[in-house]
Structure 1
């Protein structure tokens, strides 16, 4: 087969005629959308993608989802969360840290205790997760 002169997806391997035609369809579609620059604007920036990824990671664990459900209606101290969860302190601490770093919960010191509450992002994520589960 004769090569079209272009390479496939930057691999350096030449495209055959059938592949070149398919590739041209893809390039035409990009041009109809306004070109690569317009297409690239549809993708969030690296920082936003990283934040989204952290939230999805935090939502991917049943223990962390349980914590979000517990915090949905009221802030709770660690001892109350742990009484319900029945896990080691270190394991609970790890899961709370993941949720906090993802922006789904926040902690507030009250004397010797830390009370955790769900954030607006956490509420939205939990509602979305509930809708997806149905």
Structure 2
């Protein structure tokens, strides 16, 4: 069973969330938590729904209005969806880069220009040592 499996009747979900069942019905009407329905139209809640109910209670105890809570939940759901999409795109990009024959690698040159390189090669790096001293600690002209 995963966190999205809708198994809890309203009384059990209310108990797990520390709320009254009528509060859950109100939140359902407002669209804050939308439980699944059985063929007989009774509500079934998942562990994710219970966690969301607990979050609603916490936000409400901090003085956030129901409309504010609805907006926060909506934005959190949107962020979760965008993060999921980002992971999909990163995976697709990684697959494309690994599977494309003749792929090229790019590096930055000393002046910030883009240098195209063959895969498996490295750029030449400067290996001189530069010593930096703050102006207040630098010797005066002629001193060493």
Same fold (TM over 0.5): no
Give the helix-richer structure, 1 or 2.
1
Larger radius of gyration: 2
Which of the five TM-score ranges fits, normalised by the shorter chain?
A: under 0.3
Give the TM-score of the pair, scaled to structure 1: 0.28
